[in-house]
Structure formats: C-alpha cells, structure tokens
Amino acid sequence: MTVDRIFDVVADAAPEIRAGLPERRAKAETENVSGETQLEADLWADDLLCERFEDVAGVTWYASEERDEVERVGDDEDGYTVALDPLDGSSNVKSNNPCGTVVGVYDEPLPAPGDSLVAAGFVLYGPTTTMVVARDGEVREYLVEADGRTDLGPVELPDDPVVYGFGGRVPEWTDEFEAFVRDVEEDLKLRYGGAMIADVNQVLVYGGAFGYPGLQSRPGGKLRVHFESVPMAYVVETAGGASSDGSKSLLECDPDSLHERTPTFVGNESVIEALEDALPN
C-alpha cells in the first residue's frame, strides 16, 4: 500500500533528522544565528526527505514548504502527491524547543482542494520522537526509533478543552478575535510554544484549541494551506475534533496557489463553533 509506504519513508527518515538537529543548534549558537542558519536546517531536512521520495511506487509528486514548485519524483501518471513541511517550527532549534515534520498525502496534483487529502500526519521531535498518523477514519500514535516504530495506540481528542495557544502579536489581532480569546482564557490555560506540531499535539492530549489567526497586516495569517493547515485539520478532525478557517472547515477549502496561507484553527468542536460565531462571516 502506497500510503503505508509513505509513512514508513517518513518514519525511517525521522531518526536521521533528529540526529542532525544538535549540530544545527550548535551552529546556531556559535554563529549567533540570523534567519539564514535556520533556513539551512529547513533546506537540509527538505533535501533529505525529497531524496527519500524518489522512486516510491505510487508517489508522483513531492511538494514542500521550502520549494517554489512541485517536484516530479515518480513515473506513475496518477500517483499521490506528498506535501511536506520538512521542519515546522525550525526557529525552535536555537532555543531547544520542539519542532516537527508535517505530512499530507493528496490524491491530486497541487494546488488541490482540502477534500483531496487522503491521509495526514506529523513527526514530533520532543522528549521522544513520535509520529501521529490519520487515515481510514482513525488516528494512531507511534514511537519512532532508529530500529523501527512501535504502535502506541489510538489518539482521540478528550471531550473537555483544557489548553489553548494562538499565534500572532496581540495588537495585530482583530477586535473580534481578541474578544473571543478573552472568553476562552476564562476557562482554558495558555500553552503556546511556537511550533504548530507541538502545540497541536498537546491539544490532542489534553483537549483545547490551537490557532494562528488572520492578522490586521496579514489577513491570511501565517500558516500554509497545503503544508500545514489542511494536514493538521485532517488529523484533528479524524481524532474527533473540528477545524476552521474562521467560517468553515479547513477540509472544505479550495486554494488557488501552492503556497497560499489561511487563518487556521483546530480543536474541540465547542471552541471552534464559538470561534466561528465570534468572527464576522
């Protein structure tokens, strides 16, 4: 099965990516890093993963947050597109906070609507390396080690929301979004780490919501539809939660371009419904 193979390829690459991070952190510290050194870590992970997807039967296209264009990697005419954010949250490498790899498997060439996603997941480089995979109506978590992966069981969003984390500078939020957050913080606890994968994973574990809203200077927000928003929405919805771009599920989006951005919210249905009620539609 091609989808199994895709996640095997990512799981096989993950220990290698993890092993390459300390040296990139050291570089960041000694060189008193600018954006460029972070970029180097992103490009390195992207090259490593792209190479691994050359000649995977059933995969035709490799797309990544780091590449302007989609890359043809296989001969099949109608194979899957693998869309990756190779090192999401890479600015966390310098401060030794978690980061990860996001994976989306689309059955159409990109750009493509959210409902063309057939499976999605992510690797989290935290205290341990784990991979979460959503497919066939189920989400499972795996422990990823150099000699293979161990199934840690199903992942289901808890019924009650506990934590929240929303990105962007508060003065850049819209008045409506800020009013919504003031309500949320009455009941939930702030936990924001600056790496979407880790911030979403804690929502999967404790319940709650993660989001990166449209900002006054940037109405589309920061996160990219194909590489970040739709795959994470698919994981959270499959785990029993909800997603939104502010007015509808992210899985209903229909982007026009490869690197399009969108306001992104995932979490318990009650919080996402309250968000959609609060924002102008």
Q: Using CB under 6 A, list all residues that contact ligand AHM.
A: 65, 85, 88-90, 167, 194-196, 212, 222
100-105-111-114 Cα dihedral, nearest 10 degrees:
-90
Between 91 and 270, name the residue whose CB sits nearer to ligand AHM. Answer: 91
CB of 89 to ligand AHM, least distance (A): 4
CB of 276 to ligand AHM, least distance (A): 20
Cis peptide, bond prior to residue 111, ω within 30 of zero:
yes
Residue type, 77: E
Output b/e per residue, 46-85; b: 16+ Cβ within 10 A. beebbebbeebeebbbbbbbbbeebeebbeeeebbbbbbb
203 binds, among ligand AHM, Mg ion, none (CB under 5 to 8 A by kind): none
Between 90 and 243, name the residue whose CB sits nearer to ligand AHM. Answer: 90
**Can you point out the beta strands (E) in 75-206?**
80-88, 99-106, 117-125, 129-135, 138-145, 148-154, 163-166, 189-190
47-50-52-55 Cα dihedral, nearest 10 degrees:
-140
Cβ atoms of 115 and 248 within 8 Å: the answer is no
- Judged by CB under 5 A, the residue of 42, 46, 66, 88 near Mg ion is 88
Residue 267, phi then psi, degrees to nearest 5: 155, -160
Between 184 and 196, name the residue whose CB sits nearer to ligand AHM. Answer: 196
120 binds, among Mg ion, ligand AHM, none (CB under 5 to 8 A by kind): none
CB of 235 to ligand AHM, least distance (A): 14
> How far is the C-alpha of 251 from the C-alpha of 253, rounded, in Å?
6
Per CB under 5 A, 237 contacts Mg ion: no
Per CB under 5 A, 85 contacts Mg ion: yes
Per CB under 5 A, 199 contacts Mg ion: no
Closest CB to ligand AHM: residue number = 196
Q: Which two tokens stand for residue 232?
A: 């994470």
253 binds, among ligand AHM, Mg ion, none (CB under 5 to 8 A by kind): none
Contact range with Mg ion by CB under 5 A, out of 85-93, 124-132, 200-208, 272-280: 85-93
CB of 65 to Mg ion, least distance (A): 6
136-238-54-144 Cα dihedral, nearest 10 degrees:
-100
Between 165 and 207, name the residue whose CB sits nearer to ligand AHM. Answer: 165
Binding site for Mg ion (CB under 5 A): 85, 88
